[in-house]
Amino acid sequence: MKTVRWGMIGCGDVAEVKSGPGFYRARHSTLVAVMRRNGALAADYARRHGVPRWHDDADAILRAPDIDAVYIATHTDTHCDYVLRAAAAGKAVYVEKPMGMDTNECSAMIDACRAAAVPLWVGYYRRALPRFLAVRDLVANGAIGEVRMVLMRHFQRPPEAPFAEGGVPWRVDPRRSGGGFFFEGACHTLDFMDFLFGPVDTVRAVAGNQAGAYRAEDVVAASLRFASGVHGSGAWCYAADVDDEYNDIVGERGRIRFSTTRPVPIRVERGDTREDLPAPDPPHVHQPLIQTIVDELNGEGRCPSTGESAARTAAVMQAILRDFHDASAQRVGARSAPA
């Protein structure tokens, strides 16, 4: 069993606890080098995490002969470029979600990795997280009978203080993230629903910006139908008066409630009975998915989050936001047209 040697491009917040330690704590896995454009921050990360090397140039990671696979943990607008460069360098690639800014970028990444004969995985780590596998097993084992529909809900309070001039966080800057909090976060829920019920074949949705704190969407309502026959609906509001997030899976004999964002107990309801199942998360939530990647590279099993599965999620997100993006583009065009 070989040890997979990783290089990390981008070592910001997500790499501190969620992902970074998973690369040197997973079995048969080691983190050889990290890169960040700010060399001082890269050096600091390497020192604190015991990583042998740091760089401020991505090519030092991509060209390194002692690196087998690359983890890309940068802003969404750079994912496609780094994946194409990693594929050209012959490195296996694990890229953060959202996979790309749009489905065209996702297709380009898949095609490049296929042409280079290197695998491509995407950071939808909930596909391997024990809490979510417990939900999958409840559904698969018939705990609530045949599934009829899923309900997704996420309400979130807006930032307490107005954004400073020019200081909009990257997650709500469409030029860097591809959208807003919905685009950057709700994809986890929609991807997990794809994992449970298969591809979505119908999308009807409306989205808007009601609070005006930033340009991206802050309210979304969607109806979905999965090819498996399960129906779904979702409501997301990032300008609400309360923080509240959960998902319900409705079956013929009961319901399963769980959270995408919080490691709270899974609730199973059947008629008047209710059972809460403890479901804590591991300290480094990417680690179980990283382990599936390392195992696959060693010829054992398959990672459940591929470029192809992530591209399906990107297509659903794009379909949900299409009308909002089209209307936004028309407004920008109208403002820039000559008088």
Domain with CATH 3.40.50.720 in the chain: 4-126+286-305
Q: What's residue 168's pLDDT?
A: 76
* Third-level CATH fold of 4-126+286-305: Rossmann fold (3.40.50)
pLDDT for position 117: 98
Q: Is the pLDDT of residue 164 over 60?
A: no
Q: Which residue has the higher pLDDT, 168 or 227?
A: 227
The reported pLDDT for the residue numbered 170 is 85
In the chain, what percentage of residues exceed pLDDT 70? 95
Annotation: CATH topology of 130-281+315-332: Dihydrodipicolinate Reductase; domain 2 (3.30.360)
Please tell me whether the overall predicted TM-score, pTM, comes out greater than 0.75 for this model.
yes
| Pairwise CA distance, residues 323 & 326, whole Å | 5
Q: Residue 170, Cβ neighbours under 10 Å: how many?
A: 13
Asked whether residue 174 carries a pLDDT value surpassing 80, the answer given is yes
Residues of the chain with CATH 3.30.360.10: 130-281+315-332
> Quick check: 157 and 243 in contact, CB under 8 A?
yes
> Could you tell me the strand order of the sheet in which 92-95 lies?
53-55, 29-35, 4-9, 69-72, 92-95, 120-122
Q: What is the DSSP letter of 78?
A: G
Strand duo 53-55 + 29-35: pairing: parallel
**Chain segment 211-220, per-residue pLDDT in tens:** 998 999 999 9
